[in-house]
Amino acid sequence: MDLTEASDDELRNSMHAFEAALGALHQDLEPPLCSRVLLALDGSNQDAASEGLAHALTERTGARLEVWRAGGQDERAADLILERANALNADLIVLCAPFRDDFSALGSDSVGTHLDLLMARSPHPMLVIRDPALASPRCFERVLLPIVLRSSEQQAAAAWALRAVAPGGSIGIVAVIDEELVRRAAWLEGDADFASLSEEELAGLREPKNAGLIAAVQRYASREHLGCSVRVRQGEVVPTLIELAGTGPHIVVVPCPRDPAQVEFHRVQSLVRASSWPVWIV
Amino acid sequence: MPLLEEVGHAAAAADPAGAGPLATTLIGLVLVATFVCIAFEWLHKTLAALCGAGLAVILALVFGVYGGAGYDAVHGFVHHDLSVIGVIVGTSILVAIAADSGLFHFLAVKIVKATGGRPTLLLPAIFAATLGFVTFLTIAPGVLIMSSLVLVITKALDDDPKPYILAVAIGANSGALMTFASGIPTLMIGTSAGIPYVHFLMVSMPLALLSAAIAWLVVRLVYAKSLAAGASAEVRAIQVAGFDEWALVRDRKLFVRAVLILGVTIVGFALAQTLGVGLDFVAFCGACLALLFSGLEPDKAIAKVKWSVVLFFVGLFILIGTVQATGLLEVLAHGIHDLSGGSTTIAILVVVPFVFVTAGIVDNIPVAATMIPVAKTMIAAGITAEPLWWSLVAATNLGGNPTPVGSIAAVIALHALDKERGIKIGWGEYLKVGGLVTVLQIVLVLAYIHMFRTLGLFPSL
């Protein structure tokens, strides 16, 4: 039936919004404790920026900052950083990934062997500095939090986003719909209704877990007088995030599985490679 | 057609050469056929209006109805009502942006949670929320949000959704009376009659609240048994508390901006006359502010304008303008005038039930469009303007209540119930509630108008 002034799709989307509010899984989201931070320096031109960012964070959180410096071309740098972080029981590692270096010889996704290893092995979240010219403490004013479907680290990433954001700053939750994936899924499912799904549904924002997560972040942002917006974008995930972050200053807080076999691991690698802004890997 | 110049409606754009009885009859038949197609949904209403307008224009040109003005008269009809179209487009953009922030869904859940799920509070809360949303969003988006809320909440509470859906369907028509821009018939009549925005707050807003209170009492009476059933009080309280309104929030900053821009636009509507600008200008300013400060892509927001509705109005204005140029509407106006013997009281006693019934059968927008030139002719012939205009405002909006196809609110709400829950409210069941509400509301409107007239409470136009 044609309602002329209100379509069936609009009705269904509105209902799904209320159903999401009803089914949202309640999550108590608080920023995690950040009392020990390990700053790993490698003598590169990114050291000063890394220090600046680490100091800004520790001053705000009251965390203790320990600096570790790599000795020349230390091939065991990743292991040494990890050993130090474990010994310190660090809540966060701040380190840099070579910026404007050519990683192509290391494969299509690599961000340098040390960081590749740390991404796969480190139980500690990592704040990865990229372009030193852009890594200023102002980055903490705008935190970008991508929603990754079926990620077991999503809630932790959201909690760290709350920790990362500076007072008075804002958190931008972003859900990216990969059109190609949606088309393939629609074809595989043979489901004609895919076309009528709203952006929010396609992006998974109506799923109880994500709806609850959004509610928790919004509630926290409201309480702490932070800005918070939820945006849905269509396109390939990494270029879309880079485009959004392009207007910076930003920090991108992203959940990442520790298993290199997972697609999401490679996506985070691609994000770090493509990003000029610091990336907080949880 | 001596009254045409006094009437000053778009038909004056035509330089009538005097339509013969054949042309008048044929064009009159086109009008009736168009209204029948709209009433029985034989054609999409936009298509019906455009086809009717096309046929009427051809007949008018063949029979020389437009006189010396020729085809230019058609542009005159649309030109005269551009302000109505401007308000619709402007407010559509503004409302789409405000709704995108999640503000209205957030508020709707807040209102439901405040009732604790108690049926004695839930039903009036649904009425009140419907009234509020329609006031600011107009009928279609307001009813859409409230119908979807009712379907979800009644499912969660194991309640019979019928009384709540009827509360939305019937309460929305009262909401359309609240302000100048709350309902399209209100907007059309207010624009044509030159009624200032603030007059609506003084005259039609109290009437809207009273008419909604009547509807609430009737729904409560008819559905007393099913309103008492459902889950236990504890379960209801837990279920309602489980709603997390924050999951619906897209942008809190946009919330605040939307509220501010909506507020500024409403103040702008109220001050439009003083500022010497049209409501369409105010609506477009509101839309521009919303587009500038929402962060929403302009293309996305503009695409949410219901262009089929705009085209429906273009067709309707051309059709009504052409019919008016034949002098047919004057015949109707004179008929009512003669029947009343020039008495305003009798004229209102005829017009109110007539409009209630026709709006209930056809669609209140075409009825309003037809009755505006009729009312202008009657006023030119000596009927007092204020009570007649306010009677029309009330009757065209509340006139949609008696049948399930009388208003867009009922169509949307009942369709939603059928489609999403597979529950139908038949004509008989609807008439039992809508009919009773309509009879009581006719009495209310007549008494209200009479009281305002007797006590001299109508602000002068």
pLDDT tens for B390-415 read: 999 999 999 889 888 778 889 889 98
Which chain B residues are within 8 Å of A231, Cβ to Cβ? 250
Q: What are phi and psi of A39, to 5 degrees?
A: -105, 115
Which chain A residues are within 8 Å of B246, Cβ to Cβ? 214-216, 218-219, 222
Q: Is B110 in the A-facing interface, judged by CB distances under 8 Å?
A: no
> What is the residue-wise DSSP string for B431-448?
HHHHHHHHHHHHHHHHHH
pLDDT tens for B192-223 read: 898 988 899 999 999 999 999 999 999 999 99
Q: Is B245 in the A-facing interface, judged by CB distances under 8 Å?
A: yes
ipTM of the complex: 0.80
Report whether B381 contacts B420 (CB < 8 A): no
Q: What are phi and psi of A76, to 5 degrees?
A: -100, 25
In this complex, do B248 and A5 lie within 8 Å of one another by their Cβ atoms? no
pLDDT at B12: 45
Report whether B91 contacts B181 (CB < 8 A): yes
pLDDT at B94: 87
pLDDT at B54: 96
pLDDT at B16 over 60: no
pLDDT at B6 over 60: no
Q: Give the up-direction half-sphere exposure of residue B393: CA atoms within 13 A in the CB hemisphere.
A: 35
- Is the bond preceding residue B124 a cis peptide, omega within 30 degrees? no
Strands A251-254 and A227-234: unpaired
Strand partners, A40: A68
Q: Residue holding tokens 């587009």?
A: B291
User: Hey, what are B235's tokens?
Assistant: 């379960």
Q: Which CATH number among 3.30.465.10, 2.30.31.20, 3.40.50.12370, 3.40.980.10 corresponds to the domain A36-180+199-281? A: 3.40.50.12370
Of the residues B104, B137, B148, B300, the best mutation for testing chain A's interface (the one with the most A CB atoms within 10 Å of its CB) is: B148
Which chain B residues are within 8 Å of A3, Cβ to Cβ? 140, 408, 411-412, 415
pLDDT tens for B223-274 read: 998 888 667 888 888 888 888 999 888 888 888 888 899 889 988 988 888 8
Q: Is B15 in the A-facing interface, judged by CB distances under 8 Å?
A: no
pLDDT, mean of residues B144-172: 94
Q: Helix and strand tally (H, E) in chain A? A: 10, 9
CA separation for the pair A34, A63 (Å, rounded): 6
Q: Which class for B188: exposed (0-12), middle (13-18), buried (19 or more C-beta within 10 A)? A: buried
For residue A216, give the chain B residue with the closest CA: B246
pLDDT at B375: 93
Which among B44, B250, B419 is the nearest to A2, CB-wise? B44
pLDDT at B363: 76
Q: Residue holding tokens 């008494």?
A: B447
Average pLDDT, chain B: 87
pLDDT at B309: 81
Distance in Å, alpha carbon of B248 to nearest chain A alpha carbon: 6
Listed residue (B290, B265, B304) closest to B94, CA to CA: B290
User: Hey, what are A140's tokens?
Assistant: 């903490």
Which among A1, A21, A221 is the nearest to B245, CB-wise? A21
pLDDT at A188: 64
pLDDT at A164: 95
Query: SS3 string of A158-225?
Result: HHHHHHHCCCCCEEEEEEEECHHHHHHHHHHHCCHHHHHCCHHHHCCCCCHHHHHHHHHHHHHHHHCC
**3-state class of A67 per DSSP?**
strand
Span of A56-60, A106-110, B15-19, B446-450 with lowest mean pLDDT:
B15-19
Which chain B residues are within 8 Å of A199, Cβ to Cβ? none
Report how many domains make up chain B: 1
CA separation for the pair A81, A104 (Å, rounded): 24
Residue type, B95: V
Q: Name the stretches of chain A with pLDDT < 70.
A: 1-6, 71-75, 99-113, 180-196
Helix axes B408-421, B139-157, angle to 10 degrees: 30
For residue A15, give the chain B residue with the closest CA: B148
CA B201, B203, B206, B211 torsion: positive or negative?
A: negative
Distances (CA, A) of B274 to B265, B267, B279, B295: 14, 11, 11, 32
pLDDT at A25: 81
Distance in Å, alpha carbon of A268 to nearest chain B alpha carbon: 25
Residue B371 binned pLDDT confidence (cut-offs 50, 70, 90): very high
Which among B148, B251, B306 is the nearest to A11, CB-wise? B148
User: Hey, what are B312's tokens?
Assistant: 């429906």
Q: What are phi and psi of B321, to 5 degrees?
A: -60, -40
Domain hosting residue B87, numbered range: 83-178+198-213+223-303
Listed residue (B430, B419, B402, B427) closest to B148, CA to CA: B419
Of the residues B50, B111, B250, B417, the best mutation for testing chain A's interface (the one with the most A CB atoms within 10 Å of its CB) is: B250
pLDDT at A251: 93
pLDDT at B417 over 90: yes
Which among A1, A5, A218 is the nearest to B246, CB-wise? A218
pLDDT, mean of residues B327-331: 86
pLDDT tens for A125-165 read: 999 998 888 888 999 999 999 988 777 889 999 999 999 99
